[in-house]
Structure 1
Amino acid sequence: MEALERGHRVSFVAMDTLLHLLKTQDITRTSQARMRRILGSDLVIIDDLMFMAMDKNESNIFFQFINKLYDQSSIILTSNKGPEEWGELLGDPAITTAILDRILHKSEVIQLSGDSFRLKHRETIFGNF
C-alpha cells in the first residue's frame, strides 16, 4: 500500500495466473497487455510461488520473466516453501539456481510462522485444530 501511496506502479499476480499469462502472451492480446503492465511495474508481487510444481517449459518461461524484472523492478514473493525446496518444484537444478541467484541477490527474506491468518478467523466453522 505504501508503494502505491508514493506513486509507484504496482502489480499483484497469483503464480497460477502468471504462468497462464506467460504461456499465452504470444497468442492473446489480453495476456500481452497484462504482461506489459506487469513488466512496466516498479513493484511486482507474486503470490503463492511454488504452490504447485512446474514443468520444464514453465520453469524456463518463469526464469525469463524473473530475468526481465531483475534490476528494473522490485519483487515481493509469497511462498509456502523455502528456497531450499524450490529445486524439486522447478524440476531443473540449473534453472532453480539461476532464478534464486537473481531473486536472492538483493533481497530480504522474511519467514513467518504461526497459525494461518485465514483459519484463525474461522474457528466457529472448523473448531479448534
Structure 2
Amino acid sequence: MKEPVAELKQTLKILNLTEAAQIIDQSLMEAEQAQWTCREFLERLLHYEIVRREEKQLARRYKWASFPELKTLDEYRLEEQPSLSKRQFQQLRELLWLEQNYNLILLGPPGVGKTHLAIGLGIEALKNGRKVSFVTMDTLIHLLKTQLISRSSQYKVKRLLHSDLVILDDLMFMAMDRNEANMFFQFINKLYGQTSIILTSNKGPEDWGELLGDQAITTAILDRILHKSEVIQLNGDSYRLKYRQTIFQNA
C-alpha cells in the first residue's frame, strides 16, 4: 500500500497540488473509515488545497503591505467619529471606490483615526484579493531618492507601483525641496489611473503648495489625486490621548 500512496503523493506534487500531497495519507485513512465516495474524497482533498492556497496568498499580501500594525475596521470606534456616518463607513467598506480607481483623502488633526481607517480599509482590500502597500511619506521620499543606488529601494518602489492600493501616511508631515517634490509628482503620475491611493494628512490640499515648495508641481499633483477622489474630514478628540495608557493605578 505504501508504494502506490507514495506514487500518488508524487503525482500530486508534480501537478503542484502540494498542500493536498501533505494530507493524502490522513485523507485516505479518513475516507476508508468514514466510507467516503470517490466524489467526497476528491471534494475534500481539493477543498483543502484551495483553502491552504488562499491562506498562503493572503499571508503574502499581508507581508507585501508592510502595515506598521494591524487595525481592522471592526475595531474602529465609529461612534466617536461624528463626521463619518454609519452608512458612509459601510460604503467605504464595500470597496466600490477601489473598483472604480477612486482615491480617498483622509484629513484631520493627529489622533482622530486617519491611519486606523486607512489600514482597516487596506486589510479589507487584502481580503478581497488586492495588493496593498503602506508607506509613510518620509519613507517614500527616502525610497525615491535612493532607488538609483539601492536595489532594496528600487524593489520597494517597484512593489508600490504594482499595487492595487497604495496608502500614503502623513502626507505633508515634512516640507520637501523642489527635487523631492518633482520625484513625488513622478511617482503619483505613474500611479494615476491604475492604482487607488489612500492619503492621510493633517493639512488640506489648499496648504500643500506651501510644503511642496512649487506651485506648478503642487497643481499637477492635485490634478491627478483629486481627479477621482473622495475627501473625508475627520474630527473629534484624539483617540491616543483619550485612551492613553498610564503607569499609575487608579486611586
Based on CA coordinates, which of the two structures has the bigger radius of gyration? 2
1:3 to 105, 125, 128: 125
1:94 to 187, 195, 216: 216
Distance 2:127 2:163 in 1: 14
Amino acid at match of 1:99: I
Aligned residues: 125
Match of 1:35 in 2: 157
1:49 equivalenced with 2:171 (yes/no): yes
Match of 1:109 in 2: 231
Match of 1:79 in 2: 201
User: SS in structure 2 opposite 1:26?
Assistant: coil
Deviation of 1:30 after TM superposition, in Å, equals 0.3
Match of 2:184 in 1: 62
1:70-100 residue CA offsets vs partner (Å, 9 max, x unmatched):
0010000000100000010000110000000
1:16 equivalenced with 2:138 (yes/no): yes
After TM superposition, the runs of 4+ consecutive aligned structure 1 residues lying more than 6 A away are none
Give identity over the alignment, percent. Answer: 78
Larger helix proportion of the pair: 2
Distance 2:148 2:245 in 1: 45
Amino acid at match of 1:55: D
Distance 1:65 1:116 in 2: 31
1:4-63 residue CA offsets vs partner (Å, 9 max, x unmatched):
000000000000000000000111000011011100000000000001111000100000
Structure 1 alignment gaps of length 5 or more: none
Q: TM-score, normalised by structure 1?
A: 0.94
Amino acid at match of 1:13: V
Deviation of 1:123 after TM superposition, in Å, equals 6.8
